[in-house]
Structure 1
Amino acid sequence: MYEKLIHQLAQLLRGNMLPDEFYPVALQLLAWVRVSKRGRLTGGLAFNPVEPPRDAKHLVSIFNQIGSSEALGPDSSAFVYVSPALQHLSPGQVLQALELLADANLDLPWATDNLTAAMSSAAGKSFASLPNELTGLMAKLARVEPSMKVYLPFEQSFQLTAVVQTLSAATFSETKMAWPFPWLVNLLSDTSASVYVGDSLERPGFLEEGRLTQFDISLGFPPFGVKYDPMLAERDLFGRFPEQTASIAVLAVRHILARTKGRAVVAVPNGLLFSPGAERSLREDLLAKKQIEAVVALPAALLPNTALAFSLLILNRENASDEIVFVDGANDALFKKDGRGRAVLTAWEQIADLVLSRIENDISRIISVEDVLGNDAQLQVNRYCKSSDGEAVEALLAKFPNRALVELVSIVRPLPISSSDEGISVQEVGPADFPEYGYAQIPGRQVFITEAALAKGRKQFLRPFDIAITIKGSVGKVAIFPPEIDVGVSAGWVVGQSCLVLRVDDKGIIDPRVLFSFLKSEIGQALLKQIVSGASVPLIQLRELEKIRIPVPDRLEQEKTIEAFEKIVEIERLVASSRDEQRKLSNAIWTI
């Protein structure tokens, strides 16, 4: 019913306003008429169909009076802000809109989740909407029960608030957005959400005698990528922030824990799960206190306005957990793509059941806190939920003696290049120059280095059989350089800034061509994929690269690999020669 009324209002009003301006105006009109019909407003503040407002200016005046009064209690805030677009309506439009609403039956409430969903689907990028499947998953993971007091900081779309209200729990929401929507929801849905306008971190609300009110559970979806003043921790009056950091992810988790008695479900960027510094300090503290119940990875492109992948962190301050459930919610079987390339979480209830029932299967694992701490306190789900490729890697490593990569090679960082076209000219080889087969033969571009960099970095020039590996962007791409790399025109080559050089220390243990062949193989690429991290740009951390296990075959097996590699090199040489011949013949057909 309400959706139909909104559609009819849109036909009447949208000619005078932008789509983003329409909903605040339409919802205020709808709420005003509804509460007037139900007797919550009286006298000159109420809608009177016999004497409707003369024009938009008169209507704005009434709304301003309601907003500055206590006529609707806290929900009077629904009329504190009045969109300038309302003033642009003609007297005829105002009259037609109010006649439409006067004739409508507005007794029944507009279901909260339907109202917020309608708003999110129509309001565009300015409205940070969340998929219904995601809000349902978060509420189920939080184990929301009737009569619970639920804290919801960082609200924007109020969809989390709405789904919690459908479960008959009391909601306490915080938002930085000074707009009427949350109170309009109360008026249209007959709910009683407590709403505080302010920054949850800088100026939190819901205080009792100057202390932070504690809530049974919390659900939070902090905005990703926002930076705060690193000095916030020193200014904080509530002792919430052990880490001095600008990261909203760390600060938000600390803030939510400080306000929660029991369980909390927080959306976090994947960087929180692996990054050093304050992020690592937070992870180690949560692990030491055994406050992590589960980590759920979610697919990229799940949110409307970004392709960023993220995860859900399920925490519990009430009951310590010796084990953590890791669920790969980004598994292809759990979501589908819509026609616009967005991910739709079709199996969100299955994901919740895996966490709540603590079940292990092909997409979930239960790992002890001690094992996670032993794994550098890393919380990325792909470290623990092995794919079929991951199982193949483990099977191969079980067949051969193996060593950590750092035991086999020296890892050389790229030479810093000059920001200007001055200095010493060198040739740079980047991922785009890595060939599909054989040795890397052609550098991509000329760059310059300073004399000081040259003096300190002679070992960073490429040497015979060096292996380059990309650790940022096109991660995992590898190339090997020929025996003549350091002589003639090939002297003075360096790798690009997104690469590292792997230089085999003892060719008696493993030949560089064998190591390269393994890293380039399907199994080697699957192994590297397991250590890829990065919230927006894929990357491989050096300490993770150093630890990967490399199979070390015996000399006979290595000789077979070398023979196969050199045959690939020869085929590539013949192919290149044939291409040159093709080019010459083609150019000779027509000449200028």
Structure 2
Amino acid sequence: MSTDVILRMIDDNDRDEIWYCDQLLLLGQLIAWAWLEKKQLLPSSLSIFGLQPATVRENLARLSALADSACHPEIFGFSCLQSIPQDKVDTLISNLNKALQAELIIYPEIPHTLQQLINRAGKQTPFWTLPDDIAELMTLLLAPEKNSACYCPFNGTLSVAHQLATQQQNVYTELPLVSPLPYISNLLADQAIEHRVSHPIFNPAWLKPGALVQFDYCFSCPPSKQRYNVKQINDLYGRFPEQPLYGDIVHIRHLLSQCRKQSIAVVTESILQRTAGKEWGFKKQLLEEGIIKAIIRLPSSSLAPYRDTPCLMIFDKQKHHRDIMIFDASTAYFRAHVKRNQIYPQPNTLRNLDVIYQQIEEQENTSHSRLVSYDKLTENDYNMQVDRYLTKAPPKQLKAVSSETVPLSELADLIRGQSVKSDNMLNGDQFLEVMVSDISAEGVVEQAGKPVIVNEYRERAIQQRLKPGDILLVIKGHTGKVGLVPTICGNNWIASQSFQIIRLKKGTWIKDPVVLFQYLSSSAGQAILQQLRSGASVPLLQTRDIKKLPIPKMSDEEQEMAQHNWEEIRSIHAEIRFLQDKALTFRRKIWHH
């Protein structure tokens, strides 16, 4: 009911305007004012009935200055008026007066309604929080005992804090962004959440003499795609031993530093996938300590600020977990079907939350869940991406391939393409960079289309200079696409950073690079490459996986067949080009410029 009323009081078509959220916050302030008057907690001179637009600023200042309530400055001291057009303020106050006189406002429902509408504002949202279903799932998965101390850092977890408060938990937040919304929610929903406005990473606010406060349960939804210079954080509590760059590690380390029992955090799929440097060491340590309980992949667009696929990680300090549950909640069974006429629809929201909870607790192996051993995780260099452990059955074509295989690294040298930028247009050496678009339909690198002139990057360019017979494997974006460098190629052709160069070693049983190229291009080779694909928003193939790529032992007859097949393919494509040129010639015969 309150949602319908509020949508009639404001124009929802304005939600892309920069002032839309301020309008909602102003409405929240005014409804909080009406609630205080309804409870007879204000002097008679501060009545909201008959409010005039010209007196709004003055009255909010008077409310903020009242000395008998600690929450008034946080609610009314935040000015929302500057950005809102005056005609919108006039309309809002007029509509509010009518709604109050008709007693249409249901006060406890207002905080949730405001938050849902603020979440809809897209890029204009200053105070986005987790959708209800994911907040509910997080509280369900940790299931804190009544009256537990629950910590919710970052603004995104405010919706979790409200759910915990309704479960009679002791809730403590730490919010980097100043807003009246948390205090409006406390007042109208009659909750006692303790809020502190501070950045949890740079300036942690929940302290006790000599240490950080320890909470029973911690829930976190930090901002995505964050990077930190840890040396500039000036951390006095020893939270970040890796000195990491990526925000996921920093956020998890902070959460664990203030947790006694269990924590749950929203992370990007990128941190699960990375297997190098500090990320590798970080995940290795957590696995050895046995505190990772489960990883749950959420639907790809379920959290608006997360471009990468969002996931949940559960950490448990009460029990040693040698194996961890990998769960895929992005499948159709767990995605709710949103009705078109919903007032504030959210894509890919969750359903069947009880199934997720039950299967994780009971450690069931199903089509969307798998208990993965420590040894398996170690074998995969601590890559925890869901697809690596929950893959579809191999295609039937794989059955026809020889069971005797060798890893690609035994047959070929691998050279990873790196970024080479033009840095000296006058005195540098010129190279021609092969891009993915330079690979023809049949798979031949016909030209190198991008000139780069380098000086500083000269050695790097030389290392990835191409030779006839090199195979180029696309490892980023259009993963799995394969190109063959022809016999006639420039001595200054280099591979772009989208490629892995595969250069056949001398003395192997493969007679010609064409044979390996044909296998990698085949349905069998492509099926294996797609199974190795990782990455969230951008698909990737990792070097260590490519090195292990199984190549079937082929007889001389099979290799000759592959080479003959390649000649047939090239002949067919040459005929296609001829017919295309012929068709173009006929078209030009009728009318020409």
Q: Tell me if TM exceeds 0.5.
A: yes
Counterpart among 71, 79, 84 of residue 82 in structure 1: 79
CA distance in 2, matches of 1:157, 1:203: 18
Which secondary structure state, in structure 1, belongs to the residue aligned with residue 576 of structure 2? helix
Q: Residues 28 and 563 (structure 1 numbering): CA distance in 2 closer, same or farther, change over 3 Å?
A: same
CA distance in 2, matches of 1:94, 1:305: 32
Counterpart among 40, 47, 67 of residue 64 in structure 2: 67
CA distance in 1, matches of 2:442, 2:90: 74
Which secondary structure state, in structure 2, belongs to the residue aligned with residue 388 of structure 1? coil
Taking the TM superposition and a 5 Å limit, the aligned residue runs for 1:22-171 are 22-39=23-40, 41-43=41-43, 47=47, 49=49, 55-56=52-53, 58-74=55-71, 76-85=73-82, 88=86, 94=93, 97-98=96-97, 100-104=99-103, 109-110=108-109, 113-114=112-113, 116-121=115-120, 125-126=124-125, 127-156=127-156, 158-171=158-171
Instruction: Give the match for residue 447 of structure 2.
Output: 442
Instruction: Give the match for residue 400 of structure 1.
Output: 403
Letter in 1 for 2:235: D
1:356: Cα distance to partner? Answer: 2.6
1:313: Cα distance to partner? Answer: 0.9
1:493: Cα distance to partner? Answer: 3.0
1:228-249 Cα deviation digits (max 9, x unpaired): 332146x222222212123221
Aligned length, in residue pairs = 579
Instruction: Give the match for residue 304 of structure 1.
Output: 304
1:479: Cα distance to partner? Answer: 0.6
TM-score (norm 1): 0.87
CA distance in 1, matches of 2:121, 2:2: 14
Q: Is the CA contact 2:424–2:453 (under 8 Å) kept in the aligned structure 1? A: yes
Taking the TM superposition and a 5 Å limit, the aligned residue runs for 1:324-339 are 324-335=324-335
Letter in 2 for 1:530: Q
Letter in 1 for 2:415: V
Counterpart among 397, 409, 414 of residue 411 in structure 1: 414
Instruction: Give the match for residue 484 of structure 2.
Output: 480
Instruction: Give the match for residue 388 of structure 2.
Output: 383
Which secondary structure state, in structure 1, belongs to the residue aligned with residue 259 of structure 2? coil
CA distance in 2, matches of 1:59, 1:428: 63
1:300: Cα distance to partner? Answer: 2.3
1:197: Cα distance to partner? Answer: 0.5
1:514 equivalent in alignment to 2:518 = no
Counterpart among 357, 369, 376 of residue 371 in structure 1: 376
Unpaired stretches in structure 2, ≥5 consecutive residues: none
1:225: Cα distance to partner? Answer: 1.5
Instruction: Give the match for residue 258 of structure 2.
Output: 259
1:536: Cα distance to partner? Answer: 4.1
Letter in 1 for 2:478: S
Q: What root-mean-square deviation, in Å, do the aligned CA atoms of Structure 1 and Structure 2 show?
A: 3.4
Q: Residues 165 and 518 (structure 1 numbering): CA distance in 2 closer, same or farther, change over 3 Å?
A: farther
CA distance in 2, matches of 1:254, 1:523: 42
1:202: Cα distance to partner? Answer: 1.2
1:462-487 Cα deviation digits (max 9, x unpaired): 333210112223222211123x224x
Unpaired stretches in structure 1, ≥5 consecutive residues: none
CA distance in 2, matches of 1:330, 1:203: 35
CA distance in 2, matches of 1:427, 1:171: 60
1:266: Cα distance to partner? Answer: 0.6
Letter in 1 for 2:253: R
CA distance in 2, matches of 1:349, 1:441: 55
Q: Is the CA contact 1:215–1:259 (under 8 Å) kept in the aligned structure 2? A: yes
1:353 equivalent in alignment to 2:352 = no
Instruction: Give the match for residue 248 of structure 1.
Output: 247
User: Which segment drifts farther, 20-29 or 414-423?
Assistant: 414-423
Instruction: Give the match for residue 281 of structure 1.
Output: 281
CA distance in 2, matches of 1:516, 1:336: 43
1:417: Cα distance to partner? Answer: 5.4
1:297: Cα distance to partner? Answer: 1.9
CA distance in 1, matches of 2:500, 2:225: 28
CA distance in 1, matches of 2:34, 2:138: 34
Q: Is the CA contact 1:45–1:65 (under 8 Å) kept in the aligned structure 2? A: no
1:174: Cα distance to partner? Answer: 1.4
Q: Residues 130 and 237 (structure 1 numbering): CA distance in 2 closer, same or farther, change over 3 Å?
A: same
Q: Residues 400 and 138 (structure 1 numbering): CA distance in 2 closer, same or farther, change over 3 Å?
A: same
Q: Is the CA contact 1:514–1:558 (under 8 Å) kept in the aligned structure 2? A: yes
Instruction: Give the match for residue 563 of structure 2.
Output: 562
Instruction: Give the match for residue 526 of structure 1.
Output: 527
1:24-63 Cα deviation digits (max 9, x unpaired): 1111111111122123x132575375xx55x445443343
Instruction: Give the match for residue 471 of structure 2.
Output: 467
1:362 equivalent in alignment to 2:367 = yes
Which secondary structure state, in structure 1, belongs to the residue aligned with residue 502 of structure 2? strand
User: Which segment drifts farther, 219-228 or 578-587?
Assistant: 578-587
Q: Is the CA contact 2:219–2:265 (under 8 Å) kept in the aligned structure 1? A: yes
CA distance in 1, matches of 2:503, 2:572: 26
1:405: Cα distance to partner? Answer: 1.6
